Amino acid sequence: MSSTMAPTEWRWINRFMQQMQLCGLKAGDECVVLSESDSRPELVSTAILAAEAIGARPFQVVMRSPANDQPVALRSTGTSLALKDNSSAVAAISSVPFVIDVTAEGLLHSRELRAILAAGCEVLMISNEHPSNYERLPHDDDMAQRVAQSHEFMKKCKTMRAVSEWGTDLHIELADAFTAGSTGVTDGPGSIAHWPGGLVLAFPARHRVNGTVVLAPGDINLTFKHYVQTPITLTIEDDYVVDIRGDGYQVDLLKSYMSAFDTDAYATSHVGWGMNPAARWDYLELYDRSQHNGVEARAFEGNFMYSTGSNENADRFSVCHFDIPMRNCDVFIDDHQVVKRGILTGIAAESENHV
Note the pLDDT tens digit of each residue in 139-149: 999 999 999 99
Concatenate the DSSP letters of all residues of 192-250 into one string. EEEES--EEEEE--TT-EEEEEEEPTT-EETTTTEE--S-EEEEEETTEEEEEEESSHH
Domain 10-135 has CATH 3.40.50.880: no
> Which among 350, 133, 170 has a CA at the least distance from the CA of 271?
170
How far apart are alpha carbons 158 and 168 in whole angstroms?
20
Query: Confidence class of residue 352 from pLDDT cuts 50, 70 and 90?
Result: low
What is residue 78's predicted lDDT score, i.e. its pLDDT? 87
Domain coordinates of the chain in residue numbers? 10-135, 140-354
Q: What is the amino acid identity at position 171?
A: H
How far apart are alpha carbons 232 and 248 in whole angstroms?
9
Work out the percent of the chain whose per-residue pLDDT is above 70: 98
For residue range 289-308, what is the model confidence (pLDDT) as tens digits? 888 889 899 999 999 999 99
Query: Confidence class of residue 2 from pLDDT cuts 50, 70 and 90?
Result: very low
For residue range 236-279, what is the model confidence (pLDDT) as tens digits? 999 999 999 999 999 999 999 999 999 999 999 999 999 999 99
344-351 mean pLDDT: 92
How far apart are alpha carbons 338 and 18 in whole angstroms?
30
Specify the DSSP class assigned to residue 64. P
What is residue 333's predicted lDDT score, i.e. its pLDDT? 98
